[in-house]
Amino acid sequence: MMTDKSDQPEQLMEQPKEQNDQDIGLLTKAIESINSVSSTLMQYYQTLEDRVKVLTDEVDQKKQLLDSILDSIDVGVVFFDKDGVIRLINKASEGLLGVDSGTIVGGTTLHAEINEDIVVPEKGKPFHALISSSEVSGGAGSTIGKVLIFKDITRLKRLEAENERNRRLSAMGELVMKIAHEIRNPLGSIELFANLLANDLKGTEQVDYARRISNSVRTLVSTLDNMLRFSGEIRPKMEYGCINDIVRETCDEFREVLATGGIEIKLSEDGRYSFHLDKDLMRQALINMVLNAVQAMQDGGKITVRIEREPDQRGRPSYVRIAIRDNGAGMDEETKARLFEPFFSTKDRGTGLGMSITLGIVAAHKGRIDVDSLPGRGTDFIISLPTEKRSEKRVQ
């Protein structure tokens, strides 16, 4: 049987076409696969990029928070890397050392000498400090640098010194109080015998000497009383009494001895006022006021004491005034502002306790003291004490 050779070229032509279609199909699938993978990679890359952005924002926020915390504390913090280069310094460090971070970061010196407990900046005052230095470890346990921490404790050191000084003063004060108690008793005997001697010498020239001894002893006893009262709380023993009698007796006690020094003391009253008070404390306060006036008049002068009722004001209790005026040297504003401070005195030999004790006594009676003074124009002290209206009687 013979084969028809005319059909063979057609079959041979059809076979490459089918192969081409298969190759094109495979290529198309490969391209589609590549496109799918590429799309997946792009999505993954976008996800990574978003994640990196989130992490970067978190790092920035934490860094800002750390910077804010470091800058808000009053402790100096400095970080050195492993090569000793300064990489971080907070605001407290800048202020304490007198430096600027812009010129410090990237360098290796703080421009300050740091000793065991004292920091000495090149620019600025040395200060006492608590100082700590420790290494900083990395994630793998390796050392990446060290951090220096220091805190200014100059004020604490000053307070410690003051506390030690106060402790010594307290111990000294206790000793002084014991001595004052021991001295006060014989002074009382001296004053008693001086008064007896003055009575025996009445009508003679020597009586004035005895009175001077008595008055000087009384002044010394007043100083001791001030010291003893300052050492403890003022607790008045209130009893009903007349303030006029206390003021009059005080003025009478001073009148004769002040006259020898060219000082006149005058008392005026617009009524009699009785209320609850501590007679001994009020007498002490008045003595302190009179002595203060006397010390302001070295060349003599006049002390005017007046007892009067303070004008009534709606909503306020009734007060009685004891006004003490002298025409002495007066006071400037600084002296007047410090007048009632303990141990403040413008006299070389003054204790500085008299006016402070007086203020305490008046305050313990719920009263107040007003001061009006000018240099060269004398001083007015006004003691205002609360009283009951029903006890007031007008002088006839």
- For the chain, give me the number of helices (H) and strands (E)? 9, 15
| 148 pLDDT tier (thresholds 50, 70, 90) | very high
**SS3 state of residue 380:** strand
Strongest mean pLDDT among 50-64, 130-144, 370-384: 370-384
Alpha-carbon 98 to chain mean position: 26
Say if CB 208 and CB 260 are below 8 A apart. Answer: yes
b/e string for 362-387 if b means 16 or more Cβ within 10 A?
bebbebebeeebeeeebbbbbbbbbb
**SS3 state of residue 148:** strand
> What is the structure's pLDDT at 390?
42
Token readout for 14 is 């059809």
Greater confidence (174 vs 119) lies with 119
The mean pLDDT of 84-92, rounded to a whole number, is: 91
> What is the structure's pLDDT at 314?
62
Token readout for 59 is 């790092």
Strongest mean pLDDT among 41-45, 110-114, 315-319, 341-345: 110-114
Residue boundaries of the structural domains of the chain: 73-152, 157-232, 236-396
Annotation: CATH topology of 236-396? Heat Shock Protein 90 (3.30.565)
Closest CA relative to residue 355, chosen from 291, 301, 306, 283:
291
Per-residue DSSP letter, 310: P
Q: Where are the beta strands (DSSP E) in 153-252?
A: 239-242
CATH fold match for the domains 73-152 and 236-396: no
Say if CB 353 and CB 342 are below 8 A apart. Answer: yes
Task: State how far the Cα of 391 lies from the Cα of 320, in Å rounded to an integer.
Answer: 11
Whole-number mean pLDDT of the chain?
82
Q: How many CB atoms lie within 10 A of CB 187?
A: 15
Task: State how far the Cα of 43 lies from the Cα of 35, in Å rounded to an integer.
Answer: 12
Token readout for 144 is 């990446």
Q: How many CB atoms lie within 10 A of CB 231?
A: 13
Task: State how far the Cα of 9 lies from the Cα of 255, in Å rounded to an integer.
Answer: 160
Strongest mean pLDDT among 4-8, 230-234, 343-347: 343-347
Token readout for 213 is 């001894």
DSSP-assigned letters across all residues of 71-120:
HHSSSEEEEEETTS-EEEE-HHHHHHHT--HHHHTTSS--SEEE-SSEEE
CA neighbours within 13 Å on the CB side: how many for 396?
A: 0
Q: Quick check: 194 pLDDT over 90?
A: no
Regarding pTM above 0.75, the answer is no
Task: State how far the Cα of 53 lies from the Cα of 72, in Å rounded to an integer.
Answer: 28
Find the helix packing angle between 207-230 and 243-259, rounded to 10°.
Answer: 130
Question: Taking the C-alpha atoms of 233, 234, 238 and 241 in order, what is their torsion angle to the nearest 10 degrees?
Answer: 170
Q: Where are the beta strands (DSSP E) in the chain?
A: 76-81, 86-89, 112-114, 118-121, 127-137, 143-152, 239-242, 263-269, 271-272, 274-277, 301-309, 319-326, 368-373, 379-386, 393-394
Task: State how far the Cα of 331 lies from the Cα of 355, in Å rounded to an integer.
Answer: 14
Closest CA relative to residue 291, chosen from 265, 260, 317:
265
Q: Quick check: 281 pLDDT over 90?
A: no
Q: How many CB atoms lie within 10 A of CB 150?
A: 23
Range name among 30-44, 112-126, 324-338 with the lowest pLDDT average: 30-44
Range name among 13-27, 201-215, 304-318 with the lowest pLDDT average: 13-27
The CATH class of 73-152 is alpha beta
Token readout for 138 is 């990395």
Task: State how far the Cα of 225 lies from the Cα of 364, in Å rounded to an integer.
Answer: 17
> What is the structure's pLDDT at 316?
61
The mean pLDDT of 276-300, rounded to a whole number, is: 88
Q: Quick check: 77 pLDDT over 70?
A: yes
Task: State how far the Cα of 246 lies from the Cα of 279, in Å rounded to an integer.
Answer: 7
> What is the structure's pLDDT at 392?
44
Residues in the chain: 396
